[in-house]
Structure 1
């Protein structure tokens, strides 16, 4: 059975993300892995307090195991009130030491991870996406989609926006979302994002070919939209708010809208009130 990997540091924002991840497990259905990573700073041998450092490390490990046990218990209690139509997932606990990127590669080895879920530490998923070092470490090494959940956001996704520049590589993400949409029953709004005044001579042909390719996925709730503006990030934010979108999906590739969004990171100040979850889908997603 597929699994949802839930990254946690046991803080409040992580608890909200964990509950969102568990909710998705019940709908997919899938089992869950709670994963906590700790970077332990080694101390040189001459340090006189070496024995104390070792003791502190042991205590830290005990605390992590206790926190993970309590979180698992809380999530199991959370599922008790679920309707019989939802499957209560099995929850597994895993721990990592050292570099998060390396540990991510190890834990994602194999094809049983369907999705990764993490909390937005700042409470703002966009801001965390643009500036969070942990988030960047995860999305740059993940071969599976990463869901970034703000603390007060809901995992009831009824309307999902996929921002695209109509790059053909984005079709893999569309296929993934179309399949996910059938399981979660959401409407997929594919939004072509372009800079104001930016026109390609062959744009009409590109749009027609892209829409024809999407039609082959046979998802009944797909629509197409377009936005243009000098500040594409601001315009996209307002579009999501005006259309009451529940989730924004972006494709992570070296060249494309996502990389352009990161380059516009200075505009993240306009997103202080943005509480929309963000799903980052790698262009090289394993199928």
Structure 2
């Protein structure tokens, strides 16, 4: 049974992430763990010497969070009557990124699913601050980021951007292969570069990708980048009517630069489809 963690702040976009995950895994038995990590407003515990007041604040928050988690479960139950899934809830004191980091080995997680607000106003910010913090903290578990307005229907096409620079070890692409097999998806391998002449190493890595995908339908593409890598990926995804973007979450790559706070605030990397990040 797959172990899937879904952090929630009880917002509409967090709820959309939950239902997207349920649809995505509708034919496989999963254990969904709904998490809310909480910390009180410092103004409510300004006098840290007053341990009684601090304890009361935390107790009140825990009760409120627990009630909201139960309400969320009730909403899920209305649409999952005969579901093969198991559900549980966690109300944890602490910051979200650190809490998620602790839960990855504890529950041997297979996937983390997070909702995001998407582009907001003129800032064009795709990734919210909590999502960014989790991405910077978690490198050992696949993460699925679901935009607020995404309405999942089917997983027909998955875009897989690559520079062919990195070697994909055995099992590294298994989460992608597993999803593609479950939905009979086509994987669109998108060469991200301005120079398309491949070195021997890149040619070898390209061949490895083909081997790793096995019988999964796949095709290779290369498109000149005229603006930024992020915009090129987004445009290609839109043109191909793809349902998801999948990338390996390498450190020290364009993705890491993308999630740095100043870049997130300036770059219009706002995809309308989920972003599936695989661990390095």
TM-score by length of 1: 0.82
1:53 CA displacement: 4.7
Check whether the contact 1:249–1:281 (CA below 8 A) recurs between aligned residues: yes
Check whether the contact 1:167–1:256 (CA below 8 A) recurs between aligned residues: no
Aligned residue for 1:157? Answer: 155
Once residues 125 and 84 of structure 2 are traced to their aligned partners in structure 1, the CA distance between those partners, rounded to angstroms, is 33
Aligned residue for 1:166? Answer: 164
1:149 CA displacement: 0.8
Aligned residue for 1:119? Answer: 115
1:139 CA displacement: 1.8
Once residues 268 and 256 of structure 1 are traced to their aligned partners in structure 2, the CA distance between those partners, rounded to angstroms, is 16
1:192 and 2:224 matched: no
Check whether the contact 1:246–1:276 (CA below 8 A) recurs between aligned residues: yes
- Render the CA deviation track for 1:214-249: whole Å, top value 9, x for unaligned: 232313311111122142211221111111011111
Aligned residue for 1:79? Answer: 80
Check whether the contact 1:170–1:251 (CA below 8 A) recurs between aligned residues: no
SS at match of 2:111: strand
Aligned residue for 1:141? Answer: 137
Q: CA RMSD in A?
A: 2.6
Question: Cα distance 1:165–1:204, how it changes in 2: closer, same or farther (>3 A)?
Answer: same
Aligned length, in residue pairs = 267
- Render the CA deviation track for 1:67-123: whole Å, top value 9, x for unaligned: 00010111121113x7xxxx5311011122113232122211156321111110346
Check whether the contact 2:111–2:142 (CA below 8 A) recurs between aligned residues: yes
1:59 CA displacement: 2.1
1:55 CA displacement: 3.0
Uncovered stretches (5+) of structure 1, i.e. residues with no partner: none
Once residues 28 and 125 of structure 2 are traced to their aligned partners in structure 1, the CA distance between those partners, rounded to angstroms, is 28
Check whether the contact 1:160–1:248 (CA below 8 A) recurs between aligned residues: yes
1:205 CA displacement: 3.2
1:25 CA displacement: 3.4
Once residues 25 and 161 of structure 1 are traced to their aligned partners in structure 2, the CA distance between those partners, rounded to angstroms, is 19
Once residues 43 and 162 of structure 1 are traced to their aligned partners in structure 2, the CA distance between those partners, rounded to angstroms, is 48
Aligned residue for 1:16? Answer: 16
Once residues 241 and 191 of structure 1 are traced to their aligned partners in structure 2, the CA distance between those partners, rounded to angstroms, is 13
Of 18, 43, 47, 1:44 maps to: 47
Aligned residue for 2:223? Answer: 227
Aligned residue for 1:248? Answer: 245
SS at match of 1:113: coil
Once residues 235 and 277 of structure 1 are traced to their aligned partners in structure 2, the CA distance between those partners, rounded to angstroms, is 16
1:265 CA displacement: 3.9
SS at match of 2:125: helix
SS at match of 2:268: helix
Aligned residue for 1:7? Answer: 7
Once residues 102 and 68 of structure 1 are traced to their aligned partners in structure 2, the CA distance between those partners, rounded to angstroms, is 20
Uncovered stretches (5+) of structure 2, i.e. residues with no partner: none
Once residues 215 and 107 of structure 2 are traced to their aligned partners in structure 1, the CA distance between those partners, rounded to angstroms, is 24
Aligned residue for 1:99? Answer: 95
Question: Cα distance 1:52–1:261, how it changes in 2: closer, same or farther (>3 A)?
Answer: closer
TM-score by length of 2: 0.84
Once residues 137 and 90 of structure 2 are traced to their aligned partners in structure 1, the CA distance between those partners, rounded to angstroms, is 18
- Render the CA deviation track for 1:187-227: whole Å, top value 9, x for unaligned: 11111101x3x466xx1534432232123231331111112
